[in-house]
Each structure stands twice: as structure tokens, then as C-alpha cells.
Chains A and B, each alone.
Chain A
Amino acid sequence: GIQVEQSPPDLILQEGANSTLRCNFSDSVNNLQWFHQNPWGQLINLFYIPSGTKQNGRLSATTVATERYSLLYISSSQTTDSGVYFCAGLSGYSTLTFGKGTMLLVSP
């Protein structure tokens, strides 16, 4: 399977700030997903984005497949954005591999 590296590992923001989370992967992917794990442990699908750019409200994501990275942008962060953000990739016929996650804390 592929290797997935996320940065930064931890991030603390004031409410209203913007942030960028990064995901690097070791091989070309045909599946890349971003998730938010809330404090109750639920994994929420944010984006399916093996390439290109998508936006959903205050969140957007961009994957540059040729350079093997993906970025998740959070604008005007809110306390409810706190939690762990995972990216997960799949190459060829392998299984979905998760990165170690970015733990985000948004303070009021």
C-alpha cells in the first residue's frame, strides 16, 4: 500500500482564522478522501478528491495528483471544526490507507 503523511500533526487556531492542512502520498492515487473525526469518534466524509478542486461551504480541497499531495482549506474556523482531520488514499488495487491525522483545536 501507499504511505500517507499529514502535516501539521497539531494545530491550534482562534475562532475565525483560516488554516491549510496537507497530505502527501507516496504513489499516484485513484482514490483520495478527507475525513473529519469529531470528538464523539464519528468519521465524517468531507471530500472524495483524487484530483482537482472541490468546495463545500467553508471547506475546500485541492489535489495535485501529478505532485502527489492534497490540501484541505478551512476558512473562518468555528469551534465545531475541532477534531482530527484524516486523509486516506488508495493506489491501484490496494486498500484505503489513512494518514496519522491533524488534530485541530479551535478556541473561542
Chain B
Amino acid sequence: AAGVIQSPRHLIKEKRETATLKCYPIPRHDTVYWYQQGPGQDPQFLISFYEKMQSDKGSIPDRFSAQQFSDYHSELNMSSLELGDSALYFCASSLSQESTDTQYFGPGTRLTVL
């Protein structure tokens, strides 16, 4: 079965640079979620989109922005990168925005900021 696809899988950036992470949800899933997992931490919700509109917002820094496109893929844009942004970034998708829907997680993008 198709899964959530994330690219790139690994990314190394310098401080103050920008990064763009991409997420391709499972086919027919219209809701996308982004999570950040710091070293030794649990995943923290950043932001979600339903039908190309932002549906919920968590602890996402103002330096980060995200959007969902007409084909339902999503991109997380991160600017003025800081050392503390080094983390695993997960994208998840669900069939709809119903809270009872299972969220399926992608393999993650490991971002290292030097």
C-alpha cells in the first residue's frame, strides 16, 4: 500500500539558511499534519491543513511557514535556521480532518543545522 512520502530524507544546512521540506500524502488523503521531533523528545505538532486550508496550528515558530497545494502535497518552509531547529520532521496524512481518523506518518526528514 502507498505510504506518505517525504523529501528529502536528510538535509544539512548552515545557520541562517532556508530549508524546504516536502510531503506527499497517501492518495485520497486530504489532510496533512507536520510534526517536529527534537533529539530524545516526543513528536510535537506544528501545523495541519485540510483541503488546502490551514486547519490547526501548534508550536510552529514564526520563521516557519507551510502550505498545501491543489494536488494535496504540502511544503514546510523554514527560514533563518537556528541550531535548535535540528530535528526529525514528520509529515502525516489522514483520510479527512475527522479527529477519529488514523494519522499515517511518513519516514521523516532529518534536518541538521550546523
Using CB atoms and an 8 Å cutoff, list the residues of chain A in contact with chain B: 30-31, 33, 35, 41-43, 45, 48, 50, 86, 88, 90, 92-101
Residue numbers in B under 8 Å from A95 (CB-CB): 33, 45, 48, 56, 58
Determine which of A31, A88, A99, A101 lies in contact with B100 in the assembled complex, contact meaning CB atoms within 8 Å.
A31
Instruction: Please count the residue pairs between chain A and chain B whose beta carbons lie under 8 angstroms apart in the complex.
Output: 47
Whether A101 pairs with B56 at a CB distance below 8 angstroms is no
Partner of A33, one of B33, B42, B102, B107: B102
User: Quick check: A45 and B56 within 8 Å, CB to CB?
Assistant: no
Contact A35 B105 (CB under 8 A): yes
Distance between Cα atoms of A30 and B100 in the complex (Å): 6
* A42–B107 touching, CB < 8 Å: yes
Query: How many residues of B are in contact with the other chain, CB < 8 A?
Result: 20
List chain B residues, Cβ under 8 A from A86: 42-43
Nearest CB on B from A43, distance (A): 4
Q: List 27 A-B contacts (CB under 8 A).
A: A30-B100, A31-B99, A31-B100, A31-B101, A31-B103, A41-B88, A41-B107, A41-B108, A41-B110, A42-B107, A43-B43, A43-B90, A43-B105, A45-B102, A45-B104, A45-B105, A50-B100, A86-B43, A88-B43, A92-B99, A93-B99, A94-B99, A95-B33, A95-B48, A95-B58, A97-B45, A100-B42
Kindly list chain B residues whose C-beta atoms are within 8 Å of the C-beta of A100.
42
Cα distance A45–B93 in the bound complex, in angstroms: 12
**Per-residue CB proximity of B85-105 to A under 8 Å, as 1/0?**
000101000000001111111
